[in-house]
Structure 1
Amino acid sequence: MVKKKQILVIGNNTTGCTPKHEKIAYEVGQEIAKSGSLLITGGLGGVMNSCSHGAKDENGLTLGIIPQDDPKFANEFCDIVIPSGMGFTRDFLNALSADGVIIVGGGSGTLSEVCAAYMSKKPMVAIRGFDSAIAPYIDGYVDHRKNVKIIGADTAKEAVDKIIELITA
């Protein structure tokens, strides 16, 4: 049996999550499911909920790693819930659990996950077109180390195809 690719999707929680975020996140979830990969999210609302919903509608497998210590906080589309009880520290667990990361907008929490993934040299693809904390780094690097370039994508399909290409390279 071949191990599934594990793709983390990060972005706006319920605060700041617009219908545009929700639509593209839903489509990213669908594309991840179609690829046969495991979707990992932070398990809560906003982009995490929409992405998980899209994956479930395509019969995909979803994993939510939530910051709370009670699984009841996870969104309804998580097949597997890991209640980390770690608060914001769970951002590192999310990043380290992934083979690659797709970014859909986001604020400081998302930036924390990006930095954790960056330090671990995880491939990352960010959807262009959002005013976010991540926008200045798309098609560039987080810092002078140039650990991993954050590749920009314009569509959900492009983002998933690119992250799979980067994971398997």
Structure 2
Amino acid sequence: MPKKRQILVIGNNENGCTPELELLAYEVGKEVAISGSVLITGGLGGVMRAACHGAHDAGGLTVGIIPQDDASFANEYCDIVIPSGLGLSRDFLNALASDGVIVVGGGSGTLSEMCAAYMHKKPIAALRKSGGMAAKFADQYLDHRQNVKIVGVDTPQDAVKYILDKITA
């Protein structure tokens, strides 16, 4: 049996996550599940919870890699919880566990995960209209190394399609 594709969805936590971002993240999670891929998130609130909710409602499998050492911190839509106990360092684990990354809004924690994915040359899609780090870095490189271009997309469907095209190429 072939390995399942694993797509990381990152973005705003519960602080700063608007209802519009939650809806967008829900749709991204749903599209990940429809594609037959495993959804990976940081397992907490905001975009992470909304994406897990969308994937869960579409019958997908969700994995939450949380910074705490206690699984009870994970959102209720995580099917598998990995309590890393790594604090903010878990951003690297999230990036390395994924085949590709989708960015919905986001702040400095999201940027940390983007940098980890970028350094490891993971394909990254950023939803342009979601604001935050996604809008700031869409359609550009993070630095002079030009490891991978962060590709701006307009819809959750486009985000998942881009990641799948890159990881199955």
After the TM superposition, which parts of structure 1 deviate over 6 Å for at least 4 consecutive aligned residues? Answer: none
In structure 2, distance between residues paired with 1:43 and 1:121: 23
In structure 1, distance between residues paired with 2:124 and 2:74: 24
Who is 2:122 aligned against? 122
Question: Would the aligned equivalents of 1:107 and 1:134 in 2 still touch at CA under 8 Å?
Answer: no
In structure 1, distance between residues paired with 2:48 and 2:96: 17
Who is 1:161 aligned against? 161
1:20 CA drift (Å): 1.0
Who is 2:6 aligned against? 6
* Length-normalised TM-score, structure 1: 0.98
Question: Would the aligned equivalents of 2:28 and 2:157 in 1 still touch at CA under 8 Å?
Answer: yes
1:133 CA drift (Å): 2.9
Deviations 1:67-89 (A, max 9, x none): 00000000000000000000000
Q: Are 1:81 and 2:78 counterparts?
A: no
Who is 2:55 aligned against? 55
Q: Which amino acid aligns with 1:147?
A: N
Q: Are 1:147 and 2:147 counterparts?
A: yes
Who is 1:37 aligned against? 37
Secondary structure of the 2:63 match is strand
Q: Percent identity?
A: 67
Secondary structure of the 2:7 match is strand
Deviations 1:6-26 (A, max 9, x none): 000000000110111101100
1:146 CA drift (Å): 0.3
* Length-normalised TM-score, structure 2: 0.98
Q: What is the aligned residue count? A: 169
Who is 2:27 aligned against? 27
1:111 CA drift (Å): 0.1
Structure 2: tracts of 5 or more residues without a match: none
Cα RMSD of the aligned pairs, angstroms, is 0.7
Who is 2:65 aligned against? 65
